[in-house]
Every structure is written in C-alpha cells, then in structure tokens.
Amino acid sequence: MVQSAILGFPRMGVNRDLKKATEAYWGGKLSQADLLAEAKRLRLAHWKIQKDAGVDIIPSNDFALYDQVLCHIQDFGAVPERYTKDGLDTIDQYFAMGRGHQKEGVDVPSLEMVKWFDSNYHYVKPTLQDNQTFKLVDSPKAVVEFKEAKEAGINTRPVLVGPVSFLHLGKADRGQSVNPIDLLDKLVPVYEQLLTQLKEAGAETVQIDEPVLVFDLPAKAKAAFKPTYEKFAALGDKIPKLVFTTYFGDVVHNLEALPKDIHAVHVDLVRNPEQLETVLGALGPKTILSAGVVDGRNIWKTNMKRAIETAETAIQKLGKDRVIVATSSSLLHTPHTLASEKKLDPEVADWFSFASEKAVEIAVIAKAVTEGPAAVREQLEANAKSMQARATSSRTNNPQVKDRQSKVTEQDHKRKSEFPTRIGAQEKKLKLPLFPTTTIGSFPQTKEIRVQRNKFTKGEITEAEYDKFIEKEILDNVKIQEELGLDVYVHGEPERNDMVQYFGERLDGYAFTTHAWVQSYGSRCVRPPIIVGDISRPAPMTVKESKYAVSVSNKPMKGMLTGPVTCLRWSFPRDDVHQSVQAQQLALALRDEVVDLEKAGVDVIQVDEPALREGLPLRSGKERDAYLDWAVKAFKLSTSGVEDATQIHSHFCYSEFQDFFHAIAALDADVLSIENSKSDAKLLRVFVDSAYPRHIGPGVYDIHSPRVPSEQEIKDRIEEMLQYLKPDQLWIDPDCGLKTRQWKETKEALVNMVNAAKYFRTKY
Ligand code: GLN
Ligand code: ZN
C-alpha cells in the first residue's frame, strides 16, 4: 500500500497559542511549567489533527518552542560558552540563544538568525568553535517527544536535521576559523547515539532532513554525505530506518551524494516535478521514494489529478510498496486551518487548503493510489470541481489586464533619458544641497495611530474622521522634518498597517485572511495576503496622502510605494501563472500609481524592493538569471513612466549585493538607499569597482535599536563611506524606516544625522 506522510506541522496552534504562551513566559506572566504544558497540549492537538485526517506517517520533533535548528544546537551540546556561563536553566538558555537575554545581571545577545532557504521562516545558525565538541543531552527532545506521542497512542516518525545540513547551515563563531563541515567526524557519533535511543524508544523510521542537497554545494560538503550515511547504514537494525529528506529544490545536480543504501528518499515534486524521472533512476534497488506532491509552501488546494498522476508514475516504476506520498516540505510555512476564516468569500475559500486541510488531501491521495480512484470518488470529484471553478473564475481572469500585458514593450522599461541627463533636470527642480538628507519613509507608528486605525476598522469612527486624523499626523511629520532641517521629506506612512497589505487591500486580485498566520521566527508570525487573480489598480492608492503632504511642505516630498517584487514575495503567490506574470501585473498597477503621484506634484518617488534578494533562486545559473531578469524588468516597468526631472529612489534593507550587483545597477534608480550601519563600509566597494554612476544613501545609523548615535559616530561613518563614494553621489539617511522607533530617539538621532551632513557640506 502507498502510505501518506507529513513532513512537519505548524506549531503555533489555531489561535497563535504558542506565540501567546512564549511571550507571556518572557514577560513573566506564565510559569515555565505552564509554558511546557501548553506546548505539550499543542503537540498532542496537532498529532490528533493529522491522525484524524487519516495520515499514515505523522512527524514528531517537528515542534519547537522557538526554532527547530536551535533545538538541535542545544541537544547536541553545541551551545557557545557565553550562554552556559551564567547558569541559566535549559529553557532560558534556549531562549537566550534565540532572542538574547538581558535580565538579572545576565546580558547576552542572540545567535544569528537567517532565512531558512528561500522561505520567510528564519532559523538560528549553529555557531561553532575551533575546538568544538558535541555531546548528546540526557533526554534528547526527539526521544522525549516520540515517547510523548506514543503514550498518546500515536506512532510517529521523528524528524531530525541531518548532520551535513546542520553543519553546512552553521558558521564559525566570531573570532573562530573552523569550517563547520570539518566537524562532521565529531558530530556523527552524536547522531548514532540519538538514532540508537530513538530505536530503543520504538521508532521504526526517522525523517532525516538534508535540504542543503538542493544547493550548489562546495566539494567538501557534497563529499560528506557518502561516508556519513554509510556509517549509519553500517549500524543496521540498531537504528531506525532513515528517510533522507530534501525539499525546496531539485537534487539532480547532486545525485551522486544521494545515499544508495537507504530506506527512503524524499524529494520535492511540487517545486521540481521534472526531477522525478532522474531521481527514480538514481534510487538504490530497495529504496522507497517519498514523493512530495502536496505543497508545503503555499495555500492552494492540491490538484489531486496531477498529484495522483505523479504518484502513479513513481508506482509504475517502483511498485506500491516503494512509494510514499507526502507534503513537499514541512507544512510549517502554511497557516493552521481554513476553518478559522469566517470572512473569506466562499468562492475563493473553496480554492484554499491550509495545513489541516492538506493533511486530509495527502490521505485522500494515498487512498486513491492504493485502492483506486473509486475509493475516494466523491473527494476527487469535488476537487476537480474546485480546480475548474478557479481556472475559469472571473476573479482569476481579467482580460483587460492580459490585454495590457500583451502590449508592454521594451521601451516601457526605459526612462526617457540616461542618468546624466536626468540628474541635471532633477537638480534644477529639486535644488538640493550636497549630502542631501532624507529618511526611508515611515515615522514612529505611535499608540495613537494604532488606536485610531483600530477604531476606523471597527467602524467606531467615520472615514472622514480617520482621514482628518491621518492629515494631522502628516502635518506634524512635515513640521518635525522642517525643524530637523531634512532636505527631502516623507509623509511618514501613518496610514499604513503594513507595507504589502496596504497595497494589496487597494488592488483587485488579492484576498485577505483573518487568522492565516505563519511563523516567521520565534514568536513572530506574519499573515501574508493572497494573490488570487490578475492584479489591477481600480483607483489611486497613495495619492491622496502624498498630495496633501506636498501641499503643506516647502521642500521636496518623497512618495512611497512598495515595489512589485516585494509585493509578490511577501504575499502567497498564485501557483497557476508564473511569478514573472504576477510581478508584471503588480508593476503595471504601480506604474500608474507612480505617474499619478508625479501628476500630483510629487517630485521624488521611492519604490521599495527589500525582498528582491530573498527571491533569488537557491542555485546560481539559468534559473537565477531568469529571476533577476524579470524582477529587474518589473521594477523598471513600474518606475519608467515618469519625466526625467522626477527622481526615482529605491530602498534595500541590506548591503550585500556582490552576488547580483549587475541587477541592482540595472534597476537604473536615480538614488538607492541601503542598509550599511551594521555591515562593513567595505561592501560599498562594489559601487566603486563597477563605476556605479548614480546616487547612493548607505544608512548611517541602525534603526533597529533605540540607541541614539552621536554626531561624531555618524561623521566617522560618512568619512568611511567617502573612501568609496564620491561626495556628489552620497545621500545621508538612516538604515531603514523608523516605524518601530519612539519619537524621542528618532528626533535625537536625526538631529545628529543632519548636523553631520552639514559638517561635510562645509568641507566640500
Ligand atoms: N518605506 C518603508 C518604511 O520606511 C520601507 C520598509 C522596509 O524597507 N522594510 O517603513
Ligand atoms: Zn529597509
């Protein structure tokens, strides 16, 4: 029979219960015992959902109070000394690594947290020492949770991050030079021990995640798989059977690293269906294929027909006993349940499937291929009906949008003139001093703003009242910028809840949920809007506020928009049309907005693209080039409708552009503002090396902390920047928007920033 499997389930619970519990614990409002009890309750509830759905293989150890990689760091005794020396208890030490600890005389920052592959989830980086040792803790979490499930009558498949991935995803600690993969021989015995304990506890199989196999791996990491998995194979029955698991990409370029003598291999056939043939040919003679056919990264109902066809292809080659049907990856990246969405239009709701619904889907697929489609006829018919409805709905298809897309020309992606001409026209119009100062868009989102927005959402105040409040906020922001002596103003974005949702709510083609949260990191969750159909702009989105801001300012006002790629990346995208098509639709909508802003007298327009880099395909080469090509085009399409004298800015929250600098340069933005205060000014070297001709504002101070930088610090920073950038090229601005800050520190920091700029004006 063909079994069904889930690779991991979201942890937060139906009402973000885990977030509430951990935050209450951190705030001293919940005891540790109560936190652990809540975590246990959630695990049991999630196992039960999967069991009730009829899933055969249910994961354990996919749960984490903060992050699953962090759990491994602790269980393997890979905790840097700074977290052990103060004698924090296990749980507090764990959270200290995840989010820092500043209490009762203990003061340690967190470990580095970075994006989990190309998802919006962030994991804690294993941070290793030159003399690193590993030691398995007494009660490893994987064993404890396996037993916990067993006691509840559920036989689970524990999930582990595999040794090669654990090390490859790690880094040497500050001041250390170890190449993590060199620690493999020390780490493997810990896995052997852990696997042995799992077997003793009764685990028959273990899911061992080696997703780094989808990367372009350095030779050493690639070569590490074979000896490691041979060692495991040599342990025979002493350890559970291993399901070697990859996701988020294909393994075709790393086939020789795929262990031959292994129980099962899992591949992601949602992302890379074309790898099936090759993988089938590369499996060991007895190896089972776990076919990832239900999308773990998106919210769309599975196309059962297609999923069943994929499974059948594998069955034809391997037979029913050598195929498992599974989610493509962990369901961590999907919301808990569609059942919570009471406000969704039923037409659209019928197209979605969140984690709990996907659990049912995978069970149905397994049944269909085991017993034949007749066994699940009703479900398959209903599914086909939804697929059909979605494909033909007027909500997904807008002929006007398609028509407009068909008429886009190369010329539409180009500004009227090249930069030297444009900047001349802009200087004449804007009359800015040398080292012009500006901010990135948002000013502090005060409690008052949130209160008023809430009242408006609940209908407690009228639209007119709310608009009046927003105008007043904008006016205050303008006055403050006047007092501070900034050169290019912003309206401060008080009307925006979120930089993507705000635009999504004003565009046709988007749907919104009320409870569809997904974990971003630790207790932080995001609720991405969903792109359901062709996107268009029924009316201007930001013109009213910007126009008002212009009317009360005596200096240039910068209009603020979120770019097409960022809107796309921070939403759940459609899976029925290519992302490049969706980006182009967003770009056309934004293009109209940019032109309307220009008409309204907004002479500087910033189009933020902080998500451009995270969309980079995991491997370099063709796929990455294609992505950069359409991403850059989308940005240019959105910004090229304006006159030369209108100045286009863009913003990025990082400054590592080495891998794709040509794309950044190709955006042809008149001014780029980037993060730079937390990273090395040396990174600016790429701008020099490529003789980048346009203007750049590398952030001169960190906005993530309430700390006020001194004038001298900022001057020093600018001095450093001037080693790389020409004085007439350099703008002075903070690292990012100021929405999370308080006004007091914001004003103090900006005073120092403006004074530093003035000082350099006297020098040049
Ligand atoms: N304009 C946005 C702001 O200032 C930019 C935010 C971002 O880059 N993440 O908040
Ligand atoms: Zn930013």
Of all atoms in ligand 1, which is nearest to the CA of residue 653? 8
Name the residue with the closest Cα to ligand 1, atom 9.
Answer: 610
CA of 246 to the centre of ligand 1 (A): 34
Longest dimension (CA), the chain: 82
CA of 186 to the centre of ligand 1 (A): 44
DSSP string across 456-473 = HHTTSS-HHHHHHHHHHH
Give pLDDT tens digits for 679-725: 888 999 999 999 999 999 999 999 988 899 999 999 999 999 999 99
CA of 71 to the centre of ligand 2 (A): 30
CA of 486 to the centre of ligand 1 (A): 18
User: What mean pLDDT comes out for the span 232-250?
Assistant: 98
- Looking at all shown ligands, the one closest to residue 496's CA atom is 1
CA of 582 to the centre of ligand 1 (A): 22
pLDDT confidence bin for 743, thresholds 50/70/90 = very high
Name the residue with the closest Cα to ligand 1, atom 6.
Answer: 737
CA of 389 to the centre of ligand 2 (A): 39
Of all atoms in ligand 1, which is nearest to the CA of residue 606? 1
Please determine, for residue 494, whether its predicted confidence score (pLDDT) is greater than 90: yes
CA of 738 to the centre of ligand 1 (A): 8
CA of 716 to the centre of ligand 1 (A): 25
Contact in structure between 416 and 599 (CB atoms under 8 Å): no
Give pLDDT tens digits for 120-175: 999 999 999 999 999 999 999 999 999 999 999 999 999 999 999 999 999 999 99
Of all atoms in ligand 1, which is nearest to the CA of residue 562? 1
Q: What are phi and psi of 178, to 5 degrees?
A: -65, 140
Name the residue with the closest Cα to ligand 1, atom 3.
Answer: 737
Name the residue with the closest Cα to ligand 1, atom 4.
Answer: 737
Give pLDDT tens digits for 574-602: 999 999 999 999 999 999 999 999 999 99
- Looking at all shown ligands, the one closest to residue 493's CA atom is 1
Query: Tokens 């003789």, residue?
Result: 691
Please determine, for residue 46, whether its predicted confidence score (pLDDT) is greater than 90: yes
Q: Which is the catalytic residue, given 266, 333, 336, 704?
A: 704
Q: What is the ipTM of this complex?
A: 0.99
Please determine, for residue 437, whether its predicted confidence score (pLDDT) is greater than 90: yes
Contact in structure between 158 and 142 (CB atoms under 8 Å): yes
**What pTM, to 2 d.p., does this model score?**
0.95
Q: What are phi and psi of 394, to 5 degrees?
A: -70, -15
If you count them, how many residues does the chain have? 764
User: What mean pLDDT comes out for the span 423-433?
Assistant: 98
> Which DSSP state fits 117?
T
Q: Residue 296's Cα: distance from chain center in Å?
A: 14
Please determine, for residue 444, whether its predicted confidence score (pLDDT) is greater than 90: yes
Q: Is 578 a catalytic residue?
A: no
Ligand 2 (single-atom ion) residues, CB below 5 Å = 610, 653, 736
d(CA 220, CA 217): 8
> What mean pLDDT, rounded, does the chain reach?
97
pLDDT at 168: 98
Of all atoms in ligand 1, which is nearest to the CA of residue 441? 4
Name the residue with the closest Cα to ligand 1, atom 10.
Answer: 737
Helix (H) or strand (E) holding 674: strand 671-674
d(CA 697, CA 425): 20
Encoding tokens for residue 750? 């900006």
Q: Which one of 499, 501, 561 would you pick to mutate in the ligand 1 pocket, going by the greatest count of ligand atoms within 8 A of its CB?
A: 499
Of all atoms in ligand 1, which is nearest to the CA of residue 439? 4
Q: Which one of 488, 671, 736 would you pick to mutate in the ligand 1 pocket, going by the greatest count of ligand atoms within 8 A of its CB?
A: 736
pLDDT at 384: 98
Residue that wins the pLDDT comparison between 651 and 679? 651
Please determine, for residue 518, whether its predicted confidence score (pLDDT) is greater than 90: yes
Contact in structure between 631 and 615 (CB atoms under 8 Å): yes
- Looking at all shown ligands, the one closest to residue 740's CA atom is 1
Q: Which one of 497, 501, 560, 590 would you pick to mutate in the ligand 1 pocket, going by the greatest count of ligand atoms within 8 A of its CB?
A: 560
Of all atoms in ligand 1, which is nearest to the CA of residue 442? 4
pLDDT confidence bin for 104, thresholds 50/70/90 = confident
Contact in structure between 208 and 243 (CB atoms under 8 Å): yes
CB neighbourhood size of 313 (10 A): 17
DSSP string across 485-527 = T-SBEE-B-TT-S-TTHHHHTTSEEEE--SS--EEEETTEEE-
Of all atoms in ligand 1, which is nearest to the CA of residue 560? 1
Please report, for residues 91, 287, 307, the alpha-carbon distance to residue 316 in angstroms, rounded to integers and kept in the order given.
Answer: 49, 15, 14
d(CA 618, CA 621): 10
pLDDT at 600: 98
CA of 715 to the centre of ligand 2 (A): 21
- Looking at all shown ligands, the one closest to residue 440's CA atom is 1
pLDDT at 693: 96
pLDDT confidence bin for 459, thresholds 50/70/90 = very high
Q: Give bridge partners of residue 560 from the DSSP assignment.
A: 606
Name the residue with the closest Cα to ligand 1, atom 5.
Answer: 737
**Dihedral, CA of residue 713, residue 714, residue 716 and residue 722, to nearest 10:** 170
Contact in structure between 646 and 598 (CB atoms under 8 Å): yes
Of the candidate ranges 235-239, 465-469, 534-538, 688-692, the one whose mean pLDDT is the lowest: 688-692
Instruction: Name residues contacting ligand 1 (CB within 6 A).
Output: 440-442, 499, 560, 608, 610, 651, 653, 736-737, 739
Left if phi > 0, otherwise alpha if psi is -120 to 50, otherwise beta: which for 431? left
pLDDT at 192: 98
d(CA 16, CA 7): 20
Please report, for residues 79, 187, 278, 694, the alpha-carbon distance to residue 190 in angstroms, rounded to integers and kept in the order given.
Answer: 15, 5, 33, 53
d(CA 312, CA 727): 64
The closest alpha carbon to 590, from 569, 565, 613, 616, belongs to: 565
Percent of the chain exceeding pLDDT 90 equals 96
Number of DSSP helices (H) and strands (E) in the chain, helices first = 27, 24
pLDDT confidence bin for 320, thresholds 50/70/90 = very high
- Looking at all shown ligands, the one closest to residue 739's CA atom is 1
pLDDT at 412: 98
- Looking at all shown ligands, the one closest to residue 492's CA atom is 1
Percent of the chain exceeding pLDDT 70 equals 100
Of all atoms in ligand 1, which is nearest to the CA of residue 651? 8
CA of 243 to the centre of ligand 2 (A): 40
pLDDT confidence bin for 365, thresholds 50/70/90 = very high
pLDDT confidence bin for 678, thresholds 50/70/90 = confident
Q: Which one of 566, 651, 702 would you pick to mutate in the ligand 1 pocket, going by the greatest count of ligand atoms within 8 A of its CB?
A: 651
pLDDT at 103: 87
